[in-house]
Amino acid sequence: MQTSQTTGVRPANSAQTNPAKNPILVLGGTGKTGQRVVKQLQALDWPLRVGSRSGHPPFDWLDTRTWKPCVEGIHSVYITFQPDLAVPGAVDAIRFFTKTALEAGVKKLVLLSGRGEKEAEACEQVVMQAGVDWTILRASWFCQNFSESVFLEPVQAGHLALPAGDIPEPFVDVDDIADVAVAALTEEGHNGQRYELTGPRMLTFKEASQEIGNAIGRVINYEQIPIGDYAAMLRSYHVPEDQVDLVVYLFTEVLDGRNASLTDGVQRALGRKPTDFATYVKKAAATGVWG
Ligand SMILES: NC(=O)c1ccc[n+]([C@@H]2O[C@H](COP(=O)([O-])OP(=O)(O)OC[C@H]3O[C@@H](n4cnc5c(N)ncnc54)[C@H](OP(=O)(O)O)[C@@H]3O)[C@@H](O)[C@H]2O)c1
């Protein structure tokens, strides 16, 4: 069982929390942040519904008919959109989901957003203007992309080739995002807050690869490649064209230096410092994920 000390989250029965423990829907509840939010809410014995295509009832962003049954009887929703709030159609989806949720009686929305993405900001506005309580979590690139997502296989293979050079990124640990999400969902003190969530240190992708390599005692070669080569590589793996477009957008527009700064979002939300990349690497290495 997780404690408030290990999670950084105050217990549900403290101070200004919602004593009624009204039900929460966690969209993307099997994903990187969502599964951690679910775990913490379960530890708090909080009633919840896991939103996923394999949930009961199932939730699919591509099938609006699945949305109403999922929001019925729900008080608060943690919204993680797929694949990214920056893709065409995301604003309309968030608008329609918000409408569906409000019609079902939902009283609070907590949105996971991306830092430095104009389109994601439009989605934030939809949530902020919905007329119910809201909290926005605007996150930088996740540390866990190296251990639970797209960069895992290249790291395991010892060779990470990306179209990213000297621009540093303040990678954020998804455990921190989950802690903030749970606080926002279970405490009233976070209403109307937009938290920019970064780690405490900026690293280039090359430096991040080196830190992981040093921790596991292996060389992880980092190679900066042209964006066109990267897109061609993704296409050769039959990655759908809209996802190729998304990745190109993330590595060109979003990784242009606009996010190369640290923020105090984790400190403001939780009253503690964000997790350093080195601590994340230690945790991930201990799971044996990198071999
Ligand atoms: N990764 C980053 O560095 C980063 C940084 C900032 C913001 N974000 C944002 O975080 C959000 C989550 O991204 P992520 O890449 O980390 O993914 P993730 O949360 O790990 O995504 C997987 C989750 O989404 C669900 N899912 C996938 N397709 C779905 C669909 N069509 N309908 C409903 N649920 C679906 C999956 O469940 P099932 O497969 O069971 O349906 C799973 O629960 C995105 O909005 C992204 O923009 C990510």
Q: Would you list the DSSP string of 167-216? A: --B--B-HHHHHHHHHHHHHBGGGTTEEEEE--SS-B-HHHHHHHHHHHH
The chain-wide mean pLDDT, for the chain, equals 92
Residue 54 Ramachandran class (φ > 0 left, ψ -120 to 50 alpha, else beta): alpha
CA gap 262, 140 in Å, rounded: 10
Q: Does the beta carbon of 199 lie inside 6 Å of ligand 1?
A: no
Residue 150 near residue 142 (C-beta atoms within 8 A): no
pLDDT reported for residue 188: 86
Question: Ligand 1 pocket, 170 CB below 6 A?
Answer: no
What are the residues whose beta carbons fall under 8 Å from the beta carbon of 206, sequence distance 6 or more? 222, 224
Predicted pLDDT at 13: 37
**Pocket of ligand 1 contains residue 55 by CB under 6 Å:** no
CA distance 14 to 208: 38
Q: What is the CATH number of domain 4-142+173-200+261-275?
A: 3.40.50.720
State whether the beta carbon of 171 lies less than 6 angstroms from ligand 1. Answer: no
Does 81 contact ligand 1 (Cβ within 6 A)?
yes
To test the pocket of ligand 1, the residue of 80, 97, 174, 197 to mutate (highest count of ligand atoms within 8 Å of its CB) is 80
Residue 285 phi/psi, 5° resolution?
Answer: -60, -35
CA of 157 to the centre of ligand 1 (A): 24
Structure confidence at residue 253 (pLDDT): 86
pLDDT digits (tens, 9 = 90+) for 155-182: 999 999 999 999 999 999 999 999 999 9
Residue that has been written with the tokens 């926005």 in this structure: 136
Q: Does the C-beta of 251 come closer than 6 Å to ligand 1?
A: no
pLDDT given for residue 20 in this prediction: 81
Predicted confidence (pLDDT) per residue in 66-102, tens digit: 999 999 999 999 999 999 999 999 999 999 999 999 9
- Residues of the chain short of pLDDT 70, as ranges, are 1-19
Substitution site in 32, 48, 78, 82 for ligand 1 pocket (most atoms within 8 Å of beta carbon): 82
What stretches of the chain adopt beta strand conformation (E)? 24-27, 48-51, 76-79, 108-114, 133-139, 159-162, 193-197, 221-224
